[in-house]
Amino acid sequence: MQYRKLALILILFSTAGLLAIPATAQRKGGEAALVRTQRAVEQTRPTRQSFVGSLQPVQRSVIGSAVEERVERVLVEAGDFVECPVESDAEAPVLVELRRDTIDLELEAAKIELELRDQALAELRQTIPKEIALAEANVQRVEAELEYARKNYERLQGLAESAMSSKEFEESFALFRASSEELNAVRIELQKLQATQDIRLTIARRSVARQQAEVRRVEDRQSRYAIRAPFSGFVTRKLVETGNWVTQGTPVVEIVRMDPIELQISVPQEHAARLQQTFSTSRDDGPPAAVVKVDFLTEPLTGQIDRIVPDADPRTRSMPVIIRVANPQYTLKPGWLARAELEIGRPQPVTMVPKDALVLSQETTRIFAVERGGSRTTVRSINVVTGAVRDDLIEVRGDVSPGDEIVTQGNERLRDRQEVKVLADAREED
């Protein structure tokens, strides 16, 4: 049975070969190969090209925890829409709440310490002027005492030695010296108070400022125990449950923004250069438009080319192009396939040949042009670069011109300068 199947397959392949390429299968070594031809034509290159791509959200964020704590509540489910307020000072909705008992105690202690330092600063502002006033009064008192002692000492000096005792004179001199020394001391104390009042106030104010910063730090840390949405969008994944222990950086929720939505397509390098030129020259008038079609939507959508990523795929020689499409009703979903039609370059005449004329290999793309000279008809191998496609014709660039006679059948095994016979009618094969 296996041999019969194998024989049947060989017969089918042989029959297919005879029908498809009679010029090569039925002719012997030196005979001319039988071929069919068509003329290369000149057409205007189609400027609108179609590309298939995948829709993706304009913004995707996997939100993680900024602190280490146990999950208290999860307030969203996958598929929920969360909307952030437009006002910048309004708070975004909470997605996940963490336990905050410990952080609340830290904040309370920091606020109490700040209150004590505020009170110390206020008291210092009141006591420093009083201390200076008291020191000034003390200086005045000692100055008066010194003046009295000086006068008493001078008076005793004016009396005769017989009219005063030695002890009385010594006591007046000692009182004068003591008052003088005390005056120096109270003056130094006054100068010290006057010189250090600004420093003492500065130290107290900085102590208050440091504690205010500590309160703000703890408040900022406390705010991280409520994990909020960074933008309006849909929750696509809920990654934690109530009671889970999370550490810093643990993912908790994934959210995507879908308005606008992006379509990423891959544009071949021969089109990407012209598209880049159009994109660069049209920035003043706005980005180039694109027609976006989704199979099950009856009406096409209008998008705008947002950017051309300068990173070509080395395998396909194509560049990613990102198109943004308004999606206010969230009709389009990430992951869907869509088709984008773009205007590539300007209309210009190009040479086009039937697709069957192409002979493809790993290294080159070739076509064969017929050359007639005297009694011999031969073919010339031409390396070409392909371009736009229209129906069964394809643009080729190379040493080929409109009107050239191009081989479309029997070209699979042709060689350069090989003699051929052009079939005008299928009956000539017999």
Beta-carbon count within 10 A of 33 CB: 20
Q: State in words which class domain 67-99+224-253 has.
A: mainly beta
The structure's pTM equals 0.58
Going by their DSSP bridges, the two strands 301-308 and 33-39 should be labelled as: unpaired
Cα distance between residue 406 and residue 393, in whole Å: 12
DSSP one-letter code for 363:
S
Q: State in words which class domain 48-56+258-343 has.
A: mainly beta
Please give the pLDDT value at position 4: 44
Topology adopted by domain 28-43+348-429: 2.40.420
Question: Cα angle at 286 between 282 and 288, to 5 degrees?
Answer: 65
Sign of CA dihedral 122, 126, 132, 138: negative
Going by their DSSP bridges, the two strands 420-422 and 33-39 should be labelled as: parallel
Please give the pLDDT value at position 163: 55
Please give the pLDDT value at position 88: 65
Please enumerate in sequence order all residues whose Cβ is within 8 A of that of 241, keeping only pairs 6 or more positions apart, or say none: 71, 74
Smallest Cα–Cα separation from 389: which of 415, 359, 350?
350
| Spans of the chain, pLDDT less than 50 | 1-29, 425-430
Beta-carbon count within 10 A of 65 CB: 22
Secondary element (H or E) of residue 409: strand 405-409
Please give the pLDDT value at position 46: 66
Please give the pLDDT value at position 282: 60
Please give the pLDDT value at position 373: 82
Please give the pLDDT value at position 182: 86
Cα distance between residue 412 and residue 28, in whole Å: 16
Q: Which two tokens stand for residue 378?
A: 């031969």
Task: Give Dmax over CA atoms of the chain in angstroms.
Answer: 173
Please give the pLDDT value at position 123: 93
Please enumerate in sequence order all residues whose Cβ is within 8 A of that of 87, keeping only pairs 6 or more positions apart, or say none: none
Please give the pLDDT value at position 407: 96
Please give the pLDDT value at position 162: 53
